[in-house]
Every structure is written in C-alpha cells, then in structure tokens.
Structure 1
Amino acid sequence: MHQVVIEQVASYDRAAVREGIVRLLAPLGGMAAFVRPGERVLIKPNMLSAKPAEAAVTTHPEVLRAVIELVQETGATPLVGDSPGIGGMQRVAERSGMLAVVEETGAELVPFAESVPVAGKGTFRSFELARPYLEADRLINLAKLKTHEMMTMTCCVKNLFGSVVGGEKAAWHLKAGADKGLFARMLLEIYLLRQPELNIVDGIVAMEGNGPGSGEPRPTGLLFAGTNAVAVDVIAAEVAGIPRELLYLETAARELDLPGARRETISCCGVAPQLARSGPPFRLPHLSDVQFGLPAFLKDRLRNQLTSRPTAVPGKCTLCGVCVGACPPKAITVEGGKLSFDYQACIRCLCCRELCPRAALELKDGTLLKLIKTVKRAN
C-alpha cells in the first residue's frame, strides 16, 4: 500500500505551517527518514511565474521555509531550484517571496540552466533535464495544488515538468501537446526518470478555475505528503472532487500500471479524504476540447469546431508579447496593433493563457463544442 498523509493547517502563519509539516511527515518517519547528514537535497517548488504568494500561483514561501529548516536540522544542505514557465528564476523567487526565505535560512538558490541528456524508458527515446535536478543526492518535490487548463489538475507529477529547462518546455508542448493523453504520458516518463524521495503538496490555499496561472485562490487548509507522487495526486484529486475521467495523468498512469495509480492500493492517514473535502468540488477550467479519442482524419477536419481557441480580451491585452514568445508553434503574432492567431497552427496547449501576466486571453468555443455544451446543460 502507498501511504498518503493529509494534515490540516488553517493559515500560512509561520509557526502553524512548521508544526503542520512536522505532523504531516511524522507517519512517514519524519524528515530524517528521507535525508541524511551531508547530503545535498534539492527542494523543487512550483515557480510557474513571478506572482505574489497570495495569488496561489506558486508554492507558498512559508511552506518552503519549513521544509528547508527541517532539511537543515538533519545535517543536510538544502538547494532550491526550478525552471519557471516564464521569467528568470531569480525574479520569480523574489516576487513570490521564496528568495527572501532562501536568503534568511542560508539555503542555496540553484538555477536550472544546464541540461543533461537522459535516455527515455518508454514512448519517448530521450529527454534533457536540468543537471542540478539529476545530480542532487535527494529530491523533495514541493508542489502546489491547482487546476490546470490542459491536464485538469497540476500537483506532484506535473510539478516535475520544471526539470525541463527553459525553451525545451515549448518543444515538448509542440511534440506532445496536441494530445492530452500523450502529454500526460510524457510527464509520467519524466517522473519515472528521477522519482522524488518525498512529495509535499501546498494546498493550504489552492487554486481553482482557470489554473495554473489565472485561476482563483481556493482556501482548503490542507497539506499532503507521500513517497509516491502518483498516489499523492490521486488523493489530492479525490479531495478536490475532480471527476476521474478528466484526470489525464491518472488515466495514463493506470494504463501504464504504475504503482500508486489505483485507489485501492493507497492508504490514507491523518485527516480522512472524505473529511478533508470542504465545500463544493473545485471549479474546473473552461472545457476547451472534446476531440480526443476521435480518428485522426476527423480530428483534422473538425478541430476548430470541437475545440476552444484563445482570443484577446479587449481592454485587457497590452501587447506585452509574453504569449507570442510562449507559443510553441509560433501561432501568435502582433499585427495592426492587436494579437493575431493562426488557429490552424495552434495546438491548443494554452501556454499563452497559462503564462499571460494579465489574464488577458479568453477561450472562444467552436460551433460543435458550443452545441455539445448546450446539450449537456439541458440534460
């Protein structure tokens, strides 16, 4: 059985978070069960973009602080690293409050700048992952619980996509991002190349709606932990009330028969999942696609009708160019003082929406998708 621990922490008060993390790890043997004196321990938070902590886009700095201090108390050296979706790591760390924690605790901020080729073990033959990610003695995955417009939910497994450096993320979106199932398999294959020794999820204030960058904060007062990232994701999704059929990572993990993918192999302690759930299920992202599972010839013909396409929100878009640079197939340009989209080239990965600093892009449904939604509402 794969053990997942759930603990309640009401706020980001420093002492409360510290006590909550200690309680969270106690059933797993405490931090000393994962870290040895003298080891270099990479703590990999969610550093998606340069947003303040209260936006719930990134791992909260007080959760990072507690983990750093517990690592230091074992006699190990904590490193903090990630490759943000947009912007340099230093800027994201500063804006999110994580840089101040790193400096105050004496931890080391490690940029993911250099990649190392790694042979794949499944569908994809090779990957290039950040050298510090691969070379650290131990890896602690410090994820944020959020909804996600492409994968429905981002938690432990998706957080490890940050091991892919900079522009290589766009290349993977271009290679696998047109098919959610394939993209999920790619994320799982990255996870299998370097499985974290410990996974901790910051869900004290999670995100719902159009996550991972433009949703709304959702207070849940919860922390999750476990040694198996897939199992932790399964339980986090259960607590969030997300329908299983929309969890592409979980579906792909079951297809691969990965440990932790099946609910009956997971045991929970601390707060029971049914008691941890408070309020209605998480509000999900905009349903943007119903074409997956169709034959290829139909996908090509009906793609624009069965998907949503990004458009600029009048009055919000300032032509900052972030979406232009972030688009993997280069389907967005600025023409005549406004954004122009090549919807034939667009792969609907929604990186533009994910990384837009002003939430200035919305989704417009194709005709058939709009009809399907109308029928669903009527039933």
Structure 2
Amino acid sequence: MHLVAIERVNVYERDAIKSGIIRLLAPLGGMGAFVGPGERVLLKPNMLSAKPPEAAVTTHPEVLRAVVELVQEAGGVALVGDSPGIGGIDRVAERSGMLSVINETGAELTEFAESVEVSGAGTFKRFALARPYLEADKIINLPKLKTHEMMTMTCAVKNLFGAVVGHAKAGWHLKAGADREMFARMLVELYLLRKPDLTIVDAVIAMEGNGPGSGDPRQVGLLLAGANAVSVDVIAAEIAGIPKKLLYVEQVAARLGIDGADRSTISTAGLSVDEACVADFRLPHISDVQFGLPPFLKNRLRHYLTSRPCVMPEKCRLCGICRDACPPHAIEIRDGKLHFDYHACIRCFCCRELCPDGALDVKDGALSRLIKIFL
C-alpha cells in the first residue's frame, strides 16, 4: 500500500507550517526516513514565475523554509532548484519570497542551466534533464496544488516538468502538446526517469479556475505528503473533486500500470479524504469537444471544436512575453495589437500561463459553443 498523509494547516504562519509538516511526515517515518547525514537533497518547489506568495502561483516560502530546516536537522544539505517558466531563477526566487528563506537558512539556490541527456524507455526515447536534478542524492518535490488549463490539475507529477531546462520546455509543448494525452504520457515517462523520494504538497492556499498562472487563490487549508508522487496526485484530485475523465496524467499512469495509480493501493493517514474534501473547486475553462473523431477529421475541425486563447486588449501592454514563449510561434504583435494564428496554435495555453498581466482569456470554438447550447 502507498501511504498519503493529509494534515490541516490553515495559515502560513512559520511555527504552524513547521509543526504541521512534522505531524504530516510522522506517519511516513519523519524526515529522517528520507534524508541521511551528508546527503545533498534537492528541493524542487513550483517556481513558475515572479509572483508574490499571495498570488498562489508558487510554493509558499514558509513551506520551503520548514522543509529546508527539517532536511538540515536530519543532517542533509539543502539545495533549492527549478527552471522557471519565465524569468531567471534569482528574480523568481526573490519575488516569490523564497530567496530570503534560502539566504536565512543557508540553503543553496541551484540554477537548472545545464542539461544531461538520458534515455527513455517508452514512447519518448530521449529526455534532456537538469544535471542537479539527476545528480542530487535525494529529491523532495514541493508542488503547489493548482488547476491547469491543459492537464486540468498540476501537482506532484506535473511539477517535475521543471526538470526540463528553460526553452526546452517549449520544444516539448511543440512535440507533444497538441494532444493532452500525449503530453500527459510525456510527463509520466519523465517522472519515471527520476522519481522524487518525497512529495509535500502546499495546499494551504491552492489555485482554482484558470490556473496555473491566471487562476484564483482558494483557501483549502491542507498539506499532503507521500513517497509515491502518483498516489499523492490521486488523493489531491479526489480532495479537489476533479472528475477522473479530466485527469490526463492519472489516466495515462493507470493505463500504463504505473505503481501508485490504482486507488485501491492507496491508504491515507491524518485527516480522511472525506474530512479534507473541498466543495465546488472551480476547474479551468477548457473544452476539447472532439468525440473520438478520427485524426484526419479532428485536425480539420480542431479550430472550431477546441477552446483557444484570446487577448483582452484593455489589459495587454504588448510586452511580448507570450509571443516569445509560444512553442509553435503562433503569436505576433502587429499594428499595435496581439494576433493569433489559430491554425498553428496547439492549445497548450503557455501564453496564458506566463502572461504577467492576466491579459489573455479563453474562447470556445464556434462548433463547441453551438454544442453547449443544445446539450
């Protein structure tokens, strides 16, 4: 059985978070069960972009602080690393409040700059992953529980996509991002290359709606932890009430028989799932109404069936971040306006994820809107 611990913590107060994480890890054997003296332990928070903690875009700095201190108390050397979606790691760490924690605790901020190519054993034969991620003695995964416009939920497994360095993420979106199930398969295969030793989820304040960068903070008041990241995702999704048909990563993991995907093999400690459940957790505004169409027809009708990003001119300051981040280069600035090439757009929503001003919205395709009227 895979054990997932659930603990109630309602505020990001320093002592409350640390004592909450100690209680959280107790059923799993405490931090000492995962970290040995002298081990270099990479902490992998969500460092998507340079947003303040209250925006709920990144892992909260007090969660990071508590884990760093517990790693150090167990004799480990704490490293903090990620590859932000936009902006340098120093800027993101500073704006998110993590840099002050790193400086105060004596942890080491580790930039994911150099990649190492590793062989995959599934559909995707080669991955280039950050050297510090591969070479750390132990990895502690520190995701934020958020909605995600492409994968519906980003939590334990999706957070590991940060091991892909910088602009290589755009390449993966271009290669696998046109199909949600294919992208989910890539995430699962990446996870299998180097599984984290421990996952601790920051869900004290989660993100609902149009996450992972443009959603709304939602008080949930929970911390979750487990040694198996897939099992942690299964329980997190159950707590948020997300339908299984929308959990692309978990569906792929179950089809592949990945350890931890079968709910019957997961037990919980601390709060029960029923006690932890969140009512009316708002999901992203996504639609992909393709009804199992054959590929040749799906490709022809995709523009009319799927949701797509669109600009809100009153908020857009034409900074060009979305244009530069777009994997298929489907965005351009022309005549003082933002223009989308929807036939090239792969609906990965990287533009919305990285827009610093929340200036991009989602619009249903014409046939999709019609279908919703009559359903």
Please state which band the TM-score falls in when normalised by the shorter chain: over 0.9
- Trace 1:1-379 onto structure 2 (pairs within 5 A): 1-278=1-278, 280-291=279-290, 293-376=292-375
The one-letter code matched in structure 1 to 2:298 is: K
The one-letter code matched in structure 2 to 1:317 is: C
Q: 8 Å contact 1:2–1:260 — kept in the other structure?
A: yes
Q: 8 Å contact 1:179–1:292 — kept in the other structure?
A: no
Q: 1:289 Cα deviation (Å)?
A: 1.7
Q: Secondary structure at the match of 2:206?
A: strand
Q: Secondary structure at the match of 1:299?
A: helix
Q: 1:316 Cα deviation (Å)?
A: 0.5
CA distance in 2, matches of 1:321, 1:292: 35
CA distance in 2, matches of 1:324, 1:13: 39
CA distance in 2, matches of 1:239, 1:228: 17
5+ long unaligned stretches in structure 1: none
CA distance in 2, matches of 1:103, 1:293: 52
CA distance in 2, matches of 1:362, 1:292: 24
Q: Secondary structure at the match of 1:93?
A: helix
CA distance in 2, matches of 1:100, 1:298: 53
Corresponding pairs, count:
375
The one-letter code matched in structure 1 to 2:235 is: I
Q: CA RMSD in A?
A: 0.8
Report percent identity of matched pairs. Answer: 70
CA distance in 2, matches of 1:103, 1:292: 52
CA distance in 1, matches of 2:236, 2:311: 33
Distance 1:292 1:327, change over 3 A: farther
CA distance in 2, matches of 1:269, 1:310: 41
CA distance in 1, matches of 2:181, 2:261: 15
Q: Secondary structure at the match of 1:196?
A: coil
The one-letter code matched in structure 2 to 1:249 is: V
CA distance in 1, matches of 2:291, 2:111: 36
Once the two structures are superposed, what CA deviation does each residue of 1:336-364 show, in whole Å capped at 9, x if it has no partner? 00011111111111100111011101112
5+ long unaligned stretches in structure 2: none
CA distance in 2, matches of 1:261, 1:190: 16
Q: Secondary structure at the match of 1:116?
A: strand
Q: Which moved more, 1:208-217 or 1:294-303?
A: 294-303
CA distance in 2, matches of 1:154, 1:375: 31
Q: Secondary structure at the match of 2:225?
A: strand
CA distance in 1, matches of 2:254, 2:280: 23
CA distance in 1, matches of 2:45, 2:149: 20
CA distance in 1, matches of 2:196, 2:23: 20
Q: 8 Å contact 1:288–1:363 — kept in the other structure?
A: no
Once the two structures are superposed, what CA deviation does each residue of 1:5-58 show, in whole Å capped at 9, x if it has no partner? 000001000000000000000000000000000010000000000000000000
